[in-house]
Structure 1
């Protein structure tokens, strides 16, 4: 089977239910940003990680496939693959576990520190953009609200993971100096 189909050459693509939409459709932008987020996490996973962080990121990558599939499926009556409250709880539990290990924030911090932390800060911003697209989509179409909530929590967790990695490598947060 060839990877190219030529069915998208006119600027349209198929959704999960085989309906055709423009490639610039907000639904496509939504799950495209989720795919980009998943790829950025893949870059992070290519670096040396401690097992705890690695396991969290691998679980997130798998869950992001569910979020993307959910967004690609416009039929809300189809309950096959949907973002779940349990996926959100997982993120919250990891934040509750990691955040107490960090110094409390007294200022805004700049993205940076170690290469790995910097990549996770980038993943955080991609998550925010994906959430923005999902919110825009939700203003015109019915979607699973848990998809937007998941992306919101995930950006928070990416922030905490970036700070945790810097902390574990004895790299201080970079304080914003206005």
Structure 2
């Protein structure tokens, strides 16, 4: 562990103490895992505490852990992962919070703390169905407003539920059931009898 990473770990442990659910180091980066009920308060502390000073949210995304690492995941299904930057200290931190309920994934919005989270949270809602309590304008951002479901969930069908096309007779875009037949493509292997001899 580098000196800077050890210093960040010590500072997090001192400042956040018992609010830390887990603090993991992997590939030279720290991941701070927090409980959903502590998420907003800890995010504010990460930004405002002078010893931490994480003034920039670089990225925020949703994660579906339902089939993590080719196995069944034990624990909450949906998480929100943020990447933070402290310009003052030249530190980076990954912040992860799990939504307590799989059927209604809800975590606090951090847009009041970092306004750059706005569109990222909308994207996580659109693609994963994760709701952000306190977000001012939580609506779809990448899919159509009439889109059904959340396409990055691992149980969403690859072909989707509907397709759209332009209808020249109606002179507008229409939605219809998917016309693509699901199939498995198995490559044909061609072998020569005397290959390599």
TM-score, normalising length: structure 1: 0.25
Identify the structure with bigger relative contact order (alpha carbons < 8 Å, sequence gap 6+).
1
TM-score, normalising length: structure 2: 0.24
Specify which structure has the higher proportion of helix.
Answer: 1
Larger radius of gyration: 2
